[in-house]
Structure formats: C-alpha cells, structure tokens
C-alpha cells in the first residue's frame, strides 16, 4: 500500500510570486555589494583575465598570468561573457556574478520540473480516498516541485556555495538539469532525449572534468536495468549520449590543441588533473563525507532517509530509484577522491532534495508541526541575536556584544547604511508576517514546514549580507592592500613577479591593476612576496625569487590579518 494519504487541500500550490520572491531574496544578497573575497576571488580572476585578454586567455584559463586548468573552462567562459556584456554598466565584479544568478535559476528551475514530472507519475500518486477529494496529478506534481525547491533553498551547503562564482556551483546546477533530462529519458526513451542527456554530460565535462559524467552515465544505465528497460536500446542511447558529450568538449579541446596558447598545452594539464581526482577510498574521505555531509545536506538528509524507509515496500518507484542511484554513485566518486572539498558535495544536493520532497508527504502531522515550531522558535531567536549584535556594534551596548562584534575587524568604524537597513527591516517584517500566517491560519498545505525553515534561513542570510556586509568586506577584501602596492610601485614598472596565491593575485590585479608576469614569462625588475610575519626562512624566499640585494619599497597587510604579510622589492642587477 502506498504510504501517502493527502486531501486536495494539502496540495495547494505556493503562489508563483512568493516562490520568485524567496528566490530573489535568497540569491541577490551576497551578490550585490560584496567585494572580492578569498573564497571565489580566484575564479573571478580567471573570468576577468579572459574578458580583458585575448584568445590564449580563453583557451588557457589563468589568473593574471597564473595558470589554472584544474577545472574546465565553461564556468569561466560564462562569467567572462557576462563581464563583456554587462561590465560597462554593473562593473566587472557584479557583471561576473550575473552568471551566478543565471546558474542558480538553472538549478532551481530544473529541480522544480524534475519533481513535477516525477510527482505526476501514477506510482507516485497518493492513495485514492474512499469518498474522493484526493489531489489531481498536476496539482500534486506542482506541490512536490515547490517542496523540492524549498528544501533545496533551505540546505546549509547550498547557501554557502550558491553565491560564489565557482565551477562547483555550475556543476551543481547542471546536475539538477541532468536529473531532469534523465527523468525525461526514462519516460520517453529515444534518440532525442539521449542527445539532450549527452549535452548535459558535455557541459558537466567542460565544467569540472570527465569523471562525474562517466559516473552519472553508468548510474543512469544501472537505473534503466533496475526499471527493466530494454538493455540493447539503453546501451545504444548511452553511447549516443557519450558521443554527444565528447563532441561538445571538442569546442575547447580542438582549438587548444591547434592554437597551443602561450606555447603550452592546457589539455594535457587538464587530463593530468582529472587523473588525480580518482583513487582508492580512504579513511580521510570517509570522515570528510560524514563530518561535512551532516551539516551540508541539512535538512534534506533526514527527509530523504525517511522517504526511502516510507517507500521501501514499493517496487520500481522512479521518484526514489533515480535519485538514490545518482546519489550513491556520486557518493562513491567523492569517497574515491583523495582530497575532497566542501564544494564537491554540491552535486549531490539535487538528488537528495528530490528524495526529501517525496519523503515529506509520508510524514505524520505531528512531525511536520514539530518542524514548524522548531523553525519558528530557533530561527526567530537567531534573527533577533543578529539584530542585537548590529545594535551593539553601533551603540556600544551591550558592551560585551559590541566587543565580540568588532574584535575581528580592528580599526573598522561601523556606520548605518540606509539601503541595507531598509532591506533588513523589510525582510524581518516579512518573516513576522510569515510566522503570523502559520500561527493564525493553521494551514494544511504540505509545504508549510519547509517554507518556514527556508524562509528563516533566508532571513538570517539577508541580515548578515546587509547589516554586517561592510564588516565582512573590511575583513576579507584585499582592496586596501592592492591600492597600497599600486601607490608604491613605480609607474614605469612593466612586470611584477610574485608568489601570492590565486585569490590574492586576482584581487591585487583587479583592485590595483598590478602588471603581474604573464604565462609567456619575462624578466621582472619588481617582486611582490607574501609570507607570514613569523616566517623564519625569509632569505630562502628572497633567493627563490632572485632577490639577492633587496631594495624594499613597501610592506603591509590587511588590518584584520595579523599574520599575513606582503612586501614589495626592486631587484638589483
């Protein structure tokens, strides 16, 4: 017997304007007004170099001369195109982040349609009630689409990654699109859908290598075998998909092999990086998977586990089989990664959110009410704490809170931003109205629990990205350092050697327009070195960069970092 019994009243669709407003409140804070931070400055540096460079820079991703082919070029191409189109209006940083907004839209829309199509299938429908009144298939599908998106938006991992201009962000969105294409293929197995599956696999390959697409196509074929689809046709279609995917990657591979940008081979370096992403599963990867996954996938994973348990007695349920197969395949891939990173978890979130959406209708009313009250109490309290810290840093009272709020940004002078305050206040009022709606009307709609948890998480994000954005920019940005270096670097300097990392190099190149040495190389009369104030190998570092008789021109650091140090030297011949 199916585990879902729902009246039609529980499947009223969330108003489209409300879902759109939540999406805009989710993605725009942290995009607008944020300086380059270390977390994604390196990726922006590649986009910026492409947009203001030549063909070699588009074929060989680099950060102002620092090679970076550890991932594919697609995400960087999108950001560079946005800089070309909108940079003169929005500025290069915000223009590059327009690609992030588009990527977010791709991921959420793809997930919604995947859940919608799965929810309309006969095996996913609730039990028919004795006297009628069960929801129609389209209404149930729309409700599950809304639920999947709200769970997706309420996940902590997506919140931290979706605002960054990273290839992993695009990979997560493309994974959601691949899920949609896979569902459409299983529903209508044919050459057309196989080609569309292949296009999504090719885009994934150009984003972060060929290993995830290979894992996904194997999982899709395994899924077709479990669902008893004809094996010869499925094999033929998987071959078509792989051929299309390979053809799409030739858009980058062939020009790179022919042009040899900067006299180098980005494809060879890219293939080497791909090979380094696979190894034998180790204890480190297992610990990382559980330590990070517990919070990264919250609150999707408890709902997903419940969905598997609730539907365990049903056979060949596409809405459970497909996301389970993909999640397990991607989990095995991550466990085989010698050094998994937080962003690697992002590609597993769409199938988990999809499973979670089908777990929510099977839960008891008491459990859903408990989630409601937990969201209301905890998130309201956290929002009030953020406001209290903001008041403390402006007024100095309470003194301990003011001290805690400002100790990480020494020298920062807080001010009231009218626009930021207005947005934060309006969002807080919206949260109060949402809580009042829940408490006063006692709605029976299925998505009421997840709209509160997602809305509360969005409230906290908006408060942080408005009330505390100046503090975060002050502490994380290298703009001040770049301007100081640019002021002390002689105007006739044509080349600057350096050992700074990708994020610092991108920030210094953008904010200071520093002439870092390109991939073509060159003899530089000036050197910018980054080290620690506690470093005991200063002479070795100077010798490594050919500074034998150093002439110091400048030394400085960010006000918020007491350990990091930058020094500018002129080489003597």
Q: Span 358-379, mean pLDDT?
A: 83
Whole-angstrom Cα distance, residue 184 to residue 199? 14
Specify the pLDDT at position 296: 93
Q: Are 285 and 337 in contact (CB under 8 A)?
A: yes
Asked whether residue 22 is assigned to any structural domain, the reply reads no
Q: Look-up: residue for tokens 């978890």? A: 345
Q: Are residues 87 and 183 in the same domain?
A: yes
Q: CA-based angle 254:80:38, to the nearest 5?
A: 115
Question: Which residues are bridge partners to 531 per DSSP?
Answer: 565
Q: Span 235-249, mean pLDDT?
A: 96
Asked whether residue 174 is assigned to any structural domain, the reply reads yes
Q: Are residues 350 and 403 in the same domain?
A: no
Asked whether residue 33 is assigned to any structural domain, the reply reads no
Q: Which two tokens stand for residue 423?
A: 């947005």
The residue with greater pLDDT, 535 or 37, is: 37
Does the pLDDT at position 1 exceed 60? no
Q: Are residues 113 and 58 in the same domain?
A: yes
Q: Are residues 264 and 370 in the same domain?
A: no
- Sheet of 551-556: strands edge to edge? 496-498, 526-532, 564-570, 551-556
Whole-angstrom Cα distance, residue 491 to residue 488? 9
Q: Nearest 5°: phi and psi at 67?
A: -60, 140
Q: Are residues 66 and 191 in the same domain?
A: yes
Q: Which residues of 71-101 are buried (b: 16+ CB within 10 A; e: fewer)?
A: bbbbbbbbbbbbbeebbeebebbbbbbbbbb
Where among 354, 373, 401 does a domain terminate? 354
Q: Are residues 179 and 82 in the same domain?
A: yes
Asked whether residue 453 is assigned to any structural domain, the reply reads yes
- Using a 10 angstrom Cβ sphere, with 0-12 exposed, 13-18 middle and 19 or more buried, the burial of residue 215 is buried
C-beta atoms surrounding 523 within 10 Å: 11
Q: Are residues 333 and 445 in the same domain?
A: no
Q: Span 46-55, mean pLDDT?
A: 95
Q: Are residues 346 and 260 in the same domain?
A: yes
Whole-angstrom Cα distance, residue 127 to residue 136? 11
Pick from 36, 49, 42: nearest CA to 515: 49
Q: Are 241 and 201 in contact (CB under 8 A)?
A: yes
Asked whether residue 21 is assigned to any structural domain, the reply reads no
**Which stretches of 60-143 are assigned E, i.e. beta strand?**
62-63, 66-67
- Residue 545 structural domain: 479-570
Does the pLDDT at position 368 exceed 80? no
Q: Are residues 347 and 396 in the same domain?
A: no
Give the count of domains, the chain. Answer: 3
Q: Look-up: residue for tokens 């540096």? A: 45
pLDDT in tens, 476-507: 999 999 999 999 999 888 889 898 999 999 99
pLDDT in tens, 136-157: 888 889 999 999 999 999 998 9
Q: Span 65-94, mean pLDDT?
A: 94
Specify the pLDDT at position 132: 63
Question: Which residues are bridge partners to 528 per DSSP?
Answer: 498, 568
Where among 354, 381, 407 does a domain terminate? 354
Query: Model confidence at 2, in pLDDT bands (50, 70, 90)?
Result: low
Query: Model confidence at 14, in pLDDT bands (50, 70, 90)?
Result: confident
Specify the pLDDT at position 136: 86
Specify the pLDDT at position 330: 94
Does the pLDDT at position 383 exceed 60? yes
Specify the pLDDT at position 535: 74
Q: Are residues 117 and 236 in the same domain?
A: yes
Q: Are 233 and 186 in contact (CB under 8 A)?
A: no
Specify the pLDDT at position 537: 75
Whole-angstrom Cα distance, residue 262 to residue 269? 14
**CA end-to-end span of the chain, whole Å?**
84
Asked whether residue 28 is assigned to any structural domain, the reply reads no
Q: Nearest 5°: phi and psi at 52?
A: -110, 10
pLDDT in tens, 281-324: 778 888 889 999 999 998 899 999 999 998 888 777 899 999 99
Asked whether residue 144 is assigned to any structural domain, the reply reads yes
Where among 354, 381, 411 does a domain terminate? 354
Q: Span 161-180, mean pLDDT?
A: 94
Q: Are residues 485 and 558 in the same domain?
A: yes
pLDDT in tens, 431-451: 999 888 877 776 778 787 788
- State how beta strands 496-498 and 564-570 pair: unpaired
Q: Are residues 221 and 320 in the same domain?
A: yes
Asked whether residue 56 is assigned to any structural domain, the reply reads yes
Does the pLDDT at position 573 exceed 70? no
């Amino acid at each position: 017997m199916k585990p879902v019994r729902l009246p039609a009243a529980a499947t009223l669709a969330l108003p489209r304007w409300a879902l759109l407003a939540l999406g805009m409140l989710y993605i725009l804070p942290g995009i607008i007004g944020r300086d380059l931070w270390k977390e994604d400055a390196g990726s922006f540096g590649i986009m910026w170099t492409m947009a203001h460079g030549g063909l070699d820079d588009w074929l060989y991703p680099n950060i102002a001369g620092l090679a970076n082919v550890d991932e594919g070029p697609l995400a960087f191409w999108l950001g560079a195109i946005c800089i070309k189109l909108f940079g003169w209006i929005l500025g290069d940083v915000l223009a590059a982040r327009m690609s992030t907004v588009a990527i977010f839209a791709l991921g959420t829309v793809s997930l919604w349609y995947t859940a919608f199509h799965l929810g309309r299938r006969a095996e996913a429908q609730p039990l028919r009630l004795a006297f009628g009144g069960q929801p129609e298939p389209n209404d149930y599908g729309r409700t599950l689409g809304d639920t999947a998106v709200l769970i997706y938006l309420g996940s902590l991992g997506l919140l931290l990654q979706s605002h960054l201009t990273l290839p992993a962000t695009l990979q997560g969105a493309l994974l959601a699109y691949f899920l949609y294409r896979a569902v459409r293929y299983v529903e209508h197995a044919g050459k057309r859908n196989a080609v569309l599956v292949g296009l999504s696999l090719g885009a994934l390959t150009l984003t972060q290598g060929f290993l995830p697409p290979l894992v996904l196509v194997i999982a899709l074929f395994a899924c077709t075998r479990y669902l008893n689809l004809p094996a010869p046709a499925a094999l033929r279609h998987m071959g078509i998909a792989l051929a299309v995917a390979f053809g799409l990657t030739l858009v980058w591979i062939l020009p790179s092999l022919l042009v040899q940008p900067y006299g180098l081979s980005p494809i060879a370096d890219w293939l080497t990086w791909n090979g380094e992403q696979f190894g034998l599963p180790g204890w480190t990867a297992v610990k990382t998977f559980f330590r990070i996954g517990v919070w990264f996938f919250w609150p999707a994973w408890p709902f997903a586990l419940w969905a598997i348990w609730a539907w365990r007695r049903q056979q060949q349920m596409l809405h459970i089989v497909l996301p389970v197969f993909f999640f397990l395949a991607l989990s095995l891939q991550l466990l085989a990664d010698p050094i998994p990173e937080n962003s690697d978890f992002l590609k597993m979130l769409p199938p988990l959110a999809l499973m979670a959406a089908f777990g929510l209708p099977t839960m008891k009313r008491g459990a859903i009410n408990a989630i409601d009250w937990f969201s209301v109490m905890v998130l309201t309290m956290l929002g009030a704490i953020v406001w209290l810290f903001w008041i403390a840093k402006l007024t100095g009272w309470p003194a301990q809170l003011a001290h805690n709020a400002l100790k990480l940004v020494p020298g920062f002078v807080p001010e009231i931003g009218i626009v930021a305050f207005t947005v934060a206040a309006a969002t807080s009022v919206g949260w109060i109205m949402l809580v009042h709606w829940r408490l006063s009307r006692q709605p029976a709609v299925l998505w009421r629990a997840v709209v509160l948890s997602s809305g509360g998480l969005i409230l906290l994000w908006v408060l942080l990205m408005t009330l505390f954005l100046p503090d975060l920019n002050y502490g994380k940005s290298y703009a001040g350092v770049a301007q100081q270096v640019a002021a002390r670097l002689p105007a006739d300097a044509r080349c600057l050697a350096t050992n700074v990392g990708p994020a610092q190099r991108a920030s210094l190149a953008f904010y200071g327009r520093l002439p870092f040495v390109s991939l073509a190389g060159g003899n530089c009369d000036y050197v910018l070195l980054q080290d620690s104030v506690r470093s005991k190998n200063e002479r070795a570092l100077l010798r490594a960069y050919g500074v034998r008789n150093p002439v110091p021109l400048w030394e400085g650091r960010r006000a918020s970092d007491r350990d990091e140090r930058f020094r500018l030297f002129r080489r003597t011949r």
